[in-house]
């Protein structure tokens, strides 16, 4: 029993912290600083607990949740994303005179929801996790409730998200109907023993589950909401949603790819591969024509979901490790880019166009250098972590016989290089339009930026430690 609580400790801590934060809010109104500090401290505790459980593996609370192993690594991703987002968001929302306790509480809730998804050993837990995360994101997307853009983003996200949740619930019901269980192990056993009640329901159920999850990941053809929502939401929230949120939805696929898909229907992997290819192409091509930086990053995040899907489509141990590795790298590079963007927006007090980056390297040298690093990493240029992540994914794809998918992946990268270095062109090669004073690189945003940049370089040059840890999970 103790062991179960230990394995579940990150998720228990995160959930308790979210509830406690809500109570603190209620008892002490206008206590932004308290909630801010409390959220950071509790997420750091979660990080410690998750790090402690990494070497273990097992299920807890019946067979409801898994603990340790890859779930703990996902915990680290989500909690780290949460901390970095909270630290970066304070000056951003404060600059708009819109700092409320709820912001931090909602980030905590979203984090707890993501962790539930990664820990799920049962489709119901997956569902609950997705709902907790999504509901928090609906509100966070519309956090700037005076801005039309933000409200529109939230409404769009909510309406389409609710629709997708319907698919997911229906799919789970059909899978239950076919196999008599919603626990991954039991589902696999039922399929293996050929003890299906309604064999024809199973593929339909699985297809609906994929649709529901695919929507959350923003996989083609369910990606249309993503650019609008990411564009309208507060920039720091977009950073969090498009990295940790995406990783969470992908983590729901992992147990399915391991346990269910290979025995349920061989064609599932092919479908995933086709989706991955289409997602990469659509995301990258659409990003090329964007002039607004935020929208460009929004489209590119669609493409990156496609890259991670490559690993799932490959379905081998190398592919699954690669997905998690890429999720880590992607967290740092994309979140970093959004934090830089948030800082620029705070300065400009409006959305940032590519032209606004002109001469950034002379007005904000440190910021420009970090942004360039994030851009090169996103484009997959060595020696940053984004490169190794892609290398690893492509290696998995080729190993699984999807050489064509790897080729589409690199072709997509070529396209992405164009728009990513476009940002660098404006920052470094064009003169500033208005000769602003050199801004000093201060503010709490420094912390997430420097952490992200340092980890990107370290993970790029020495991916070994993380990589060997990950590949040990699927031996």
Q: Over the Cα atoms of the chain, what is R_g?
A: 21
Among residues 58, 91, 185, 382, the one that binds other proteins under rule CB under 8 A: 382
Site for other proteins in 281-320 (CB under 8 A): 318
Q: Six-digit token pair at 387?
A: 């490169």
Among residues 95, 258, 395, 439, the one that binds other proteins under rule CB under 8 A: 395
Cα distance between residue 101 and residue 34, in whole Å: 8
Residue 468 CB partners (closer than 8 Å, separation 6+): none
Name which of 289 and 414 has its Cβ closer to other proteins: 414
Cα distance between residue 201 and residue 203, in whole Å: 6
Name which of 353 and 399 has its Cβ closer to other proteins: 399
Longest dimension (CA), the chain: 73
Among residues 131, 235, 467, 473, the one that binds other proteins under rule CB under 8 A: 467
Name which of 261 and 376 has its Cβ closer to other proteins: 376
Name which of 285 and 398 has its Cβ closer to other proteins: 398
Instruction: Determine the 3-state secondary structure of 58 from DSSP.
Output: strand
375 binds other proteins per the rule CB under 8 A: no
| Window 111-130: contact mask with other proteins (x via CB under 8 A) | --------------------
Instruction: Determine the 3-state secondary structure of 68 from DSSP.
Output: strand
Among residues 16, 411, 450, 457, the one that binds other proteins under rule CB under 8 A: 411
Site for other proteins in 447-466 (CB under 8 A): 462-464
Pairing of strands 57-60, 65-68: antiparallel
Among residues 383, 439, 444, 450, the one that binds other proteins under rule CB under 8 A: 383
Among residues 176, 391, 441, 474, the one that binds other proteins under rule CB under 8 A: 391
Name which of 163 and 404 has its Cβ closer to other proteins: 404
CB of 406 to other proteins, least distance (A): 5
392 binds other proteins per the rule CB under 8 A: yes
Q: Look-up: residue for tokens 């997956």? A: 126
Cα distance between residue 341 and residue 378, in whole Å: 15
CB of 405 to other proteins, least distance (A): 10
Site for other proteins in 317-346 (CB under 8 A): 318
Q: CA separation (Å) from 440 to 302, 347, 365? A: 33, 12, 9
End-to-end CA distance of the chain: 27
Among residues 430, 439, 441, 451, the one that binds other proteins under rule CB under 8 A: 430
How many DSSP H helices and E strands does the chain contain? 21, 2
- For residue 334, which of 385, 383, 406, 401 has the smallest C-alpha distance? 385
Q: Six-digit token pair at 376?
A: 């090169």
Contacting range for other proteins; rule: CB under 8 A; set: 27-35, 47-55, 149-157, 389-397: 389-397
- For residue 475, which of 261, 321, 308 has the smallest C-alpha distance? 321
Q: Six-digit token pair at 59?
A: 């299920």
Name which of 53 and 413 has its Cβ closer to other proteins: 413
Do the beta carbons of residue 72 and residue 46 sit within 8 Å? no
Residue 18: phi and psi, rounded to 5, are -65, -45
Among residues 407, 447, 450, 457, the one that binds other proteins under rule CB under 8 A: 407
Contacting range for other proteins; rule: CB under 8 A; set: 12-20, 140-148, 168-176, 400-408: 400-408
CB of 222 to other proteins, least distance (A): 28
Name which of 18 and 354 has its Cβ closer to other proteins: 354
Size of the site for other proteins (CB under 8 A): 35
Residue 29 CB partners (closer than 8 Å, separation 6+): 101
428 binds other proteins per the rule CB under 8 A: yes
Q: Look-up: residue for tokens 């299920």? A: 59
Name which of 75 and 467 has its Cβ closer to other proteins: 467
387 binds other proteins per the rule CB under 8 A: yes
Q: CA separation (Å) from 310 to 128, 149, 207, 315, 443? A: 26, 33, 18, 9, 38
Q: Look-up: residue for tokens 């409200």? A: 151
Among residues 9, 136, 279, 413, the one that binds other proteins under rule CB under 8 A: 413
Residue 409: phi and psi, rounded to 5, are -60, -45
Among residues 253, 394, 402, 473, the one that binds other proteins under rule CB under 8 A: 394
Name which of 252 and 397 has its Cβ closer to other proteins: 397
Among residues 414, 435, 454, 458, the one that binds other proteins under rule CB under 8 A: 414
Among residues 23, 148, 195, 425, the one that binds other proteins under rule CB under 8 A: 425
Q: Six-digit token pair at 82?
A: 């949460």
Among residues 403, 435, 436, 458, the one that binds other proteins under rule CB under 8 A: 403
Cα distance between residue 219 and residue 243, in whole Å: 14
Residues that bind other proteins (CB under 8 A): 318, 376, 381-383, 387-388, 391-392, 394-395, 398-399, 403, 406-407, 410-411, 413-414, 417-418, 421-422, 424-425, 428-430, 462-464, 467-468, 471
């Amino acid at each position: 029993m103790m062991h179960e609580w230990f394995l579940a400790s990150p998720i228990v801590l995160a959930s308790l912290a979210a509830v406690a934060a809500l109570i603190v809010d209620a008892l002490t109104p206008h206590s932004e600083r308290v909630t801010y500090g409390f959220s950071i401290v509790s997420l750091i505790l979660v990080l410690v607990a998750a790090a402690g459980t990494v070497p273990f593996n097992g299920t807890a609370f019946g067979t409801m949740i898994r603990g340790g192993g890859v779930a703990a690594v996902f915990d680290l991703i989500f909690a780290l994303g949460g901390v970095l987002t909270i630290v970066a968001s304070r000056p951003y929302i404060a600059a708009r005179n819109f700092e409320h306790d709820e912001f931090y509480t909602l980030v905590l809730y979203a984090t707890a929801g993501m962790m539930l998804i990664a820990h799920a050993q049962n489709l119901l837990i997956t569902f609950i996790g997705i709902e907790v995360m999504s509901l928090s994101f609906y509100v966070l997307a519309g956090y700037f409730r005076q801005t039309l853009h933000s409200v529109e983003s939230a409404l769009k996200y909510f309406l389409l998200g609710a629709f997708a949740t319907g698919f997911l619930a229906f799919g789970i019901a059909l899978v239950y109907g076919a196999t008599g269980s919603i626990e991954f192990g039991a589902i696999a056993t039922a399929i293996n023993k050929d003890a299906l009640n309604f064999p024809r329901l199973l593929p339909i159920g699985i297809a609906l589950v994929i649709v529901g999850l695919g929507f959350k990941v923003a996989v083609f053809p369910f990606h249309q909401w993503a650019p609008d929502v990411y564009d309208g939401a507060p920039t720091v929230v977009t950073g969090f949603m498009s990295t940790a949120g995406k990783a969470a939805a992908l983590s729901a696929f992992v147990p399915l790819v391991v346990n269910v898909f290979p025995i349920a229907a061989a064609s599932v992997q092919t479908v995933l591969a086709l989706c991955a290819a289409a997602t990469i192409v659509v995301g990258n091509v659409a990003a090329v024509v964007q002039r607004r930086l935020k929208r460009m990053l929004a489209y590119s995040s669609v493409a990156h979901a496609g890259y991670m899907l490559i690993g799932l489509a490959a379905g081998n141990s190398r592919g699954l490790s690669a997905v998690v590795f890429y999720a880590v790298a992607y967290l740092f590079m994309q979140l970093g880019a959004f934090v830089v963007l948030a800082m620029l927006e705070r300065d400009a007090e409006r959305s940032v166009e590519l032209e606004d980056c002109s001469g950034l390297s002379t007005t904000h040298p440190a910021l420009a250098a970090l942004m360039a690093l994030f851009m090169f990493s996103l484009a997959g240029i060595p020696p940053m972590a984004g490169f190794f992540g892609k290398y690893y994914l492509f290696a998995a794809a080729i190993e699984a016989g999807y050489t064509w998918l790897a080729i589409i992946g690199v072709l997509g990268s070529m396209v992405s290089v164009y728009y990513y270095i476009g940002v660098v062109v404006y920052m470094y090669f064009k003169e500033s339009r208005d000769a602003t004073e050199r801004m000093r690189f201060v503010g709490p945003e420094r912390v997430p930026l420097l952490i992200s940049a340092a980890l990107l370089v370290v993970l790029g040059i020495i991916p070994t430690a993380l990589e060997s840890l990950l590949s040990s999970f699927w031996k």
